[in-house]
């Protein structure tokens, strides 16, 4: 079973081009699944039927996994069997007729425009590190980037004359995203003034650098967001992804079309982007209720 699951993971890396983080997530889910089978004396994936899958889902529930997490595990195992059937390594798919646990519509948390402005005004940009942190937050909000995309940007990827950046998204898909004047201005200041101050005599190809010229990490940027959220007196739990969600929602509230937002976010399926229309609909209803003369 280990060989077959490794074969599937290799397929995800080589053929699908998934990121290391995504593959690690798939791998962790599959390890749990295989461990469950082995604990129940099942050593052949062909020996699994729907009853075993249901027992496995019940076991996940007993271990405290929420519906969303159980759904992710089931999707992972479903993909495994689909792949193995195509490869003729197994003959039946025991997951085929098992429904994904209902998780409802999980609306992403967003910030108001004022909250974003308070967050971005929090750093003291007279200091090189604060200038870097401000440039990172401005770029994340200004272009709707994922954290992994933000920390991977190299100097050659940003064009301040033409106001765009080039990023490598999920599945090694490249996209070009416009950036606004505020993100352009602060990043120009960071490149010309702050970056060389932090680098000293070290060279680096990355736009945003940490100690010894190394690129920033996801964990470091998460701490940066937390720090300035506290300084800005933002009581809610603000994460890096909150800025990406806010970028998408504010664009739609301002009148941007869904396809354009999909392209900028790097979503392969527009249904993923459509979740933001629910937020915008709530916003429109509030505006209607507040300002319509017949309310």
- The 10s digit of each residue's pLDDT in 40-62 is 888 888 888 888 888 888 888 88
Q: How many CA atoms lie within 13 A of 226 on its CB side?
A: 6
CA 99 from centre of chain: 25
Does position 6 have pLDDT exceeding 80, yes or no? yes
Average pLDDT (131-156) is: 93
Residue whose C-alpha is closest to residue 231's, from 136, 119, 153, 116? 119
For residue 241 the two structure tokens come to 């992804």
Does position 226 have pLDDT exceeding 90, yes or no? yes
Place of tokens 């090694």: 172
Sheet holding 174-178: strands in order across?
A: 158-159, 164-168, 174-178
What burial class does residue 51 get, using C-beta atoms within 10 Å of its C-beta: 0-12 exposed, 13-18 middle, 19+ buried?
exposed
Band (pLDDT 50/70/90 cuts) for residue 158 is very high
For residue 72 the two structure tokens come to 């992710």
What are the beta bridge partners of residue 168? 174
Task: Mark whether 141 is an active-site residue.
Answer: no
Say if residues 131 and 194 touch (Cβ distance below 8 Å): yes
In the DSSP assignment, the letter for residue 215 is B
For residue 138 the two structure tokens come to 């401005």
d(C-alpha 218, C-alpha 215), whole Å: 10
Read off the pLDDT of residues 57-93 as tens digits, 9 standing for 90 and up.
888 888 888 888 888 888 889 888 898 888 888 888 8
Task: Mark whether 276 is an active-site residue.
Answer: yes
Q: Cα dihedral sign for 223, 225, 230, 234?
A: negative
Q: Which of 170, 189, 226, 227 is catalytic?
A: 170
Task: Mark whether 146 is an active-site residue.
Answer: yes
Average pLDDT (133-149) is: 93
Q: Which of 8, 141, 228, 276 is catalytic?
A: 276
Task: Mark whether 189 is an active-site residue.
Answer: no
Q: Which of 73, 244, 245, 250 is catalytic?
A: 244
Q: Which of 146, 195, 245, 250 is catalytic?
A: 146
Band (pLDDT 50/70/90 cuts) for residue 138 is very high
d(C-alpha 71, C-alpha 239), whole Å: 23
Place of tokens 């200041």: 189
Say if residues 158 and 187 touch (Cβ distance below 8 Å): yes
Residue 277 to residues 57, 104, 108, 193, 254, Cα–Cα distance (Å): 32, 16, 11, 40, 12
Backbone angles phi, psi at 209, to 5 degrees: -120, 150
- Determine which of 28-32, 100-104, 256-260, 277-281 has the lowest per-residue pLDDT on average: 100-104
Read off the pLDDT of residues 102-134 as tens digits, 9 standing for 90 and up.
655 555 678 889 999 999 999 999 999 999 999
d(C-alpha 245, C-alpha 265), whole Å: 10
Band (pLDDT 50/70/90 cuts) for residue 5 is confident
Q: Which of 188, 227, 241, 283 is catalytic?
A: 241
Does position 265 have pLDDT exceeding 70, yes or no? yes
Task: Mark whether 170 is an active-site residue.
Answer: yes
- Determine which of 4-18, 48-62, 121-135, 269-283 has the lowest per-residue pLDDT on average: 269-283
Domains in the chain with CATH codes:
2-86 (1.10.150), 113-290 (1.10.443.10)
Pinpoint the alpha helices (H) of the chain: 2-14, 20-39, 50-62, 67-86, 113-120, 128-143, 147-152, 181-189, 195-199, 218-231, 240-253, 258-265, 270-273, 275-291
Say if residues 13 and 23 touch (Cβ distance below 8 Å): yes
- Determine which of 74-83, 92-101, 159-168 has the lowest per-residue pLDDT on average: 92-101
* pTM of the shown model: 0.62
CA 236 from centre of chain: 19
Does position 262 have pLDDT exceeding 70, yes or no? yes
Average pLDDT (15-39) is: 87
Task: Mark whether 278 is an active-site residue.
Answer: no
């Amino acid at each position: 079973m280990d060989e077959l699951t490794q074969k599937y993971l290799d397929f995800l890396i080589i053929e699908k081009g998934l990121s290391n983080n995504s593959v690690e997530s798939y791998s962790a889910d599959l390890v749990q699944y295989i461990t469950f089978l082995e604990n129940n004396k099942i050593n052949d994936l062909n020996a699994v039927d729907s009853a075993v899958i249901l027992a496995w889902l019940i076991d996940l529930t007993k271990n405290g996994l929420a519906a969303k997490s159980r759904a992710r595990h089931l999707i992972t195992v479903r993909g495994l069997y689909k792949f193995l059937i195509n490869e003729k390594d197994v003959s039946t798919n025991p997951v085929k007729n098992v429904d994904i646990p209902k998780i409802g519509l999980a609306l992403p948390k967003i910030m108001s425009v004022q909250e974003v402005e308070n967050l971005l005004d929090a750093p003291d940009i007279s200091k090189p590190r604060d200038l870097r942190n401000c440039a990172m937050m401005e770029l994340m909000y200004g272009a709707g980037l994922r954290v992994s995309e933000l920390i991977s940007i190299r100097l050659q990827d940003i064009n301040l004359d033409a106001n765009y950046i080039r990023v490598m998204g999920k599945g090694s898909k490249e996209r070009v995203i416009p950036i606004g004047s505020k993100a352009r201005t602060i990043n120009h200041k960071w490149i010309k003034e702050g970056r060389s101050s932090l680098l000293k005599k070290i060279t680096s190809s990355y736009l945003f650098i940490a100690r010894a010229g190394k690129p920033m990490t996801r964990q470091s940027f998460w701490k940066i967001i937390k720090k300035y959220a506290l300084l800005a007196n933002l009581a809610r739990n603000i994460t890096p992804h909150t800025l990406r969600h806010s970028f998408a929602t504010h664009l739609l509230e301002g009148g941007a079309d869904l396809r354009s937002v999909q392209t900028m976010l790097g979503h392969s399926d527009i249904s993923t982007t459509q979740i933001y229309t629910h937020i915008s609909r709530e916003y429109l209803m509030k505006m209607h209720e507040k300002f319509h003369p017949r309310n």
